[in-house]
Chain A
Amino acid sequence: MQKDSATPSLAHFRLLSDAMEELCSARTQEEVVRISAMLAHKACNVDSISIVLTSGEQFHYAPASKPDSISQAVRSKVIVRMSELVVETAQTAVVPDIHRDERTRSHTNGSTFARSLVVVPVGGRVPFAAITYAWVQERWPAATDVLVLEALARAAGLALVYRLGQSHSETDEHDSVNQWLESAADAEGLRGPERQQRVAAAELQHRVRNVLGLVRSLVRRTAETSASTEEYAEHLEARISALARTQGLAMRRLAEGIDLEELIDAEFIAHAVREGKVASAGPVVRLSVKAAETLALALHELATNAVKFGALSTPEGRITVTWRMEVDREDPCVRVEWIETGVLSCPPQPLRRGFGLDLIERTVPYELRGGSRISFEPGGVHCVIDIPFTRDNVLSDPPASVE
């Protein structure tokens, strides 16, 4: 590499100062990402950028490409792997060819959208994100390019922190707890990222303690309704696992909510249900963590019952889970239907009394202000759960009302 190429020119400074100004005008995180991508394209011919936050959130933008190649970049394991690496080392990484680089070779996975990368950590000594600049072709970026991209990344990082904080308070305007936490952080004299961190830490602590409280009551209630130690251990373990799965889904997608289909799939996967035994279908619905927790435990009780006495205990048994938006009614809701078929003697045994039934028929009305009905039909258990379409429960937008 030539020495003089490492000296940024006046044009570079010009570009960077313009960049700062443009980034300051961004109104949303997505705009920060889009503007950053445009600037990087202008400065260094970058084909796409990806921002991976340590919280798991990701943003991707390719100024001049088709949407399908963006989604390919989104799924790129290479980008996620490299982001984790640079956040850990707090140092920029240059990967001229992902197929030949030791750090990426085993993760390329056939993805060819990005061939060459510059990955920059942002957030100082303790990075909170990594920005990946990618080129479709193999490329040995000049030292100046790396310097310019580092500067762009830092500017984008600052803009992002600022927007992250702003969009938080904008989207959560209805959320009085958030406002209260923020004003408490203000009272401590905290500003910027520190203030955000304080609020986030308080929120996390609150969640963890709540989950511990929930686990403790599960331990107690399961003990009260189990006949033997073996049954107790088995039920408790399964219930805690169901709770843990929901937490896992929640942490990955805190902002946009938990996908209802993923939640249902996770429950069936946990019960090692064979393909063809179950079918699920419905529109995209994103639930709040709270609604997902309540529904996950309800689905778990239904699945457990199906394994013991219902459709998953007989070769002919099938389960169909469908959901739809019921918007043309006074109290719009997402209606989830669990229908078992092929269960010959019905009911072979009543659904476990106590905890299981308690959970489905009492938690849904109490926690979600919704409704739930369980009936024993000729083919097997039939359960209907209505989740009211409120901001507390459902984060995705309601569909346009049917004309």
Chain B
Amino acid sequence: MTEVPSTDATQHELAGHLVLVVEDDYFIAEEICAALREKGASVIGPAADVEHGRLLMARQPLDCAVLDVNLHGEHVFELAGELRARGVRSIFATGYDEPFLPTAFRDAIYLQKPIDLAALIRAVKESSRGNRARHN
């Protein structure tokens, strides 16, 4: 892609991306989904719990996933592990500090809540790169 600033390019910078969103708070989930859709991404979800997230994950090949760490007292790392087994990278949205995050996912992108939406878009692009190359 050329570096010419174009509204089209920024508006659709996530065009064709399939992103799973798992977040238990309705408003925060809506905010994340709206931000992703605005950039042209197709949102799978949002799912409010691990179980629903798992169902959605199985349906289609994803580019990446945006996961809230604490879902009604259940942590999301198992789901993240299953996603990784399918080659899908996760972006963690969390109110916890990094030292608390499992070492297995230290290479993932963590977004501190309240989420910086511009950082979210960059993170989705970054995390999807490898997957998109494989799809194409």
Given A181-B100, A209-B95, A290-B72: A220 touches B112 (CB 8 Å cut-off): no
A369 an interface residue at 8 Å Cβ cutoff? yes
Let me know if A202 and B31 touch, CB within 8 A. no
Let me know if A220 and B96 touch, CB within 8 A. no
A218 an interface residue at 8 Å Cβ cutoff? yes
- Which of A172, A178, A202, A392 is close to B97, meaning CB atoms less than 8 Å apart? A202
Shortest A126–chain B CB gap in Å is 22
B-contact bits for A186-211, CB 8 A (1 contact / 0 none)? 00100000000000001001111110
> Which residues of chain A have C-beta atoms less than 8 A from B69's C-beta?
177
Determine the residue in chain A with the shortest Cβ distance to B31: A217
* Interface hit among B10-18, B19-27, B59-67, B118-126: B19-27
> Which residues of chain A have C-beta atoms less than 8 A from B25's C-beta?
210, 213-214, 367
Number of interface residues of A (CB under 8 A): 33
Shortest B76–chain A CB gap in Å is 9
> Which residues of chain B have C-beta atoms less than 8 A from A255's C-beta?
none
Task: Give the interface size class of chain B.
Answer: 20 to 34
B88 an interface residue at 8 Å Cβ cutoff? no
B82 an interface residue at 8 Å Cβ cutoff? no
- Which of B28, B29, B70 is close to A206, meaning CB atoms less than 8 Å apart? B70
Determine the residue in chain A with the shortest Cβ distance to B46: A366
Q: List 6 A-B contacts (CB under 8 A).
A: A172-B73, A209-B94, A213-B114, A218-B27, A363-B26, A366-B46
> Which residues of chain A have C-beta atoms less than 8 A from B114's C-beta?
209, 212-213, 216
Shortest B50–chain A CB gap in Å is 9
A-contact bits for B66-91, CB 8 A (1 contact / 0 none)? 00011011110100000000000000
Shortest A183–chain B CB gap in Å is 9
Shortest B111–chain A CB gap in Å is 11
> Which residues of chain B have C-beta atoms less than 8 A from A210's C-beta?
25, 28, 95, 113
- Which of A188, A209, A218 is close to B99, meaning CB atoms less than 8 Å apart? A188
Q: In the assembly, what is the distance between CA of A320 and CA of B75, in Å?
A: 39
Let me know if B27 and A214 touch, CB within 8 A. yes
Let me know if B26 and A202 touch, CB within 8 A. no
Residues of B12-57 whose CB lies within 8 A of A: 24-31, 46, 48
Determine the residue in chain A with the shortest Cβ distance to B94: A206
In the A-B complex, the 3 residue pairs with the smallest Cβ-Cβ separation, listed nearest first, are A209-B95, A206-B95, A213-B114
Shortest B66–chain A CB gap in Å is 13
Let me know if B100 and A202 touch, CB within 8 A. yes
Best-buried of B26, B73, B102 by chain A (most CB within 10 Å): B26
> Which residues of chain A have C-beta atoms less than 8 A from B97's C-beta?
202, 205
Shortest B94–chain A CB gap in Å is 7
- Which of A175, A184, A212 is close to B73, meaning CB atoms less than 8 Å apart? A175
Taking Cβ atoms with an 8 Å cutoff, the residues of A that contact B are 172, 174-178, 180-181, 184, 188, 202, 205-210, 212-214, 216-218, 220-221, 290, 294, 362-363, 366-367, 369, 392
Let me know if A392 and B72 touch, CB within 8 A. yes
- Which of A177, A206, A221 is close to B74, meaning CB atoms less than 8 Å apart? A177
Shortest A224–chain B CB gap in Å is 10
Let me know if A184 and B74 touch, CB within 8 A. no
Let me know if A367 and B99 touch, CB within 8 A. no
Q: In the assembly, what is the distance between CA of A178 and CA of B75, in Å?
A: 9
Q: In the assembly, what is the distance between CA of A203 and CA of B29, in Å?
A: 20
Q: In the assembly, what is the distance between CA of A217 and CA of B26, in Å?
A: 10
Shortest B47–chain A CB gap in Å is 10
> Which residues of chain A have C-beta atoms less than 8 A from B109's C-beta?
none
Let me know if B77 and A174 touch, CB within 8 A. no
Let me know if A205 and B95 touch, CB within 8 A. yes
Let me know if A217 and B27 touch, CB within 8 A. yes
B115 an interface residue at 8 Å Cβ cutoff? yes
> Which residues of chain A have C-beta atoms less than 8 A from B102's C-beta?
180, 184
Let me know if B95 and A207 touch, CB within 8 A. yes
Determine the residue in chain B with the shortest Cβ distance to A217: B27
- Which of B29, B94, B113 is close to A366, meaning CB atoms less than 8 Å apart? B29
Given A180-B75, A180-B77: A208 touches B95 (CB 8 Å cut-off): yes
Determine the residue in chain B with the shortest Cβ distance to A212: B114
- Which of A202, A214, A369, A392 is close to B28, meaning CB atoms less than 8 Å apart? A214
> Which residues of chain B have C-beta atoms less than 8 A from A392's C-beta?
72-73
> Which residues of chain B have C-beta atoms less than 8 A from A367's C-beta?
24-26, 48
Q: In the assembly, what is the distance between CA of A172 and CA of B115, in Å?
A: 28
Determine the residue in chain A with the shortest Cβ distance to B30: A217
Determine the residue in chain A with the shortest Cβ distance to B68: A210
Q: In the assembly, what is the distance between CA of A174 and CA of B75, in Å?
A: 11
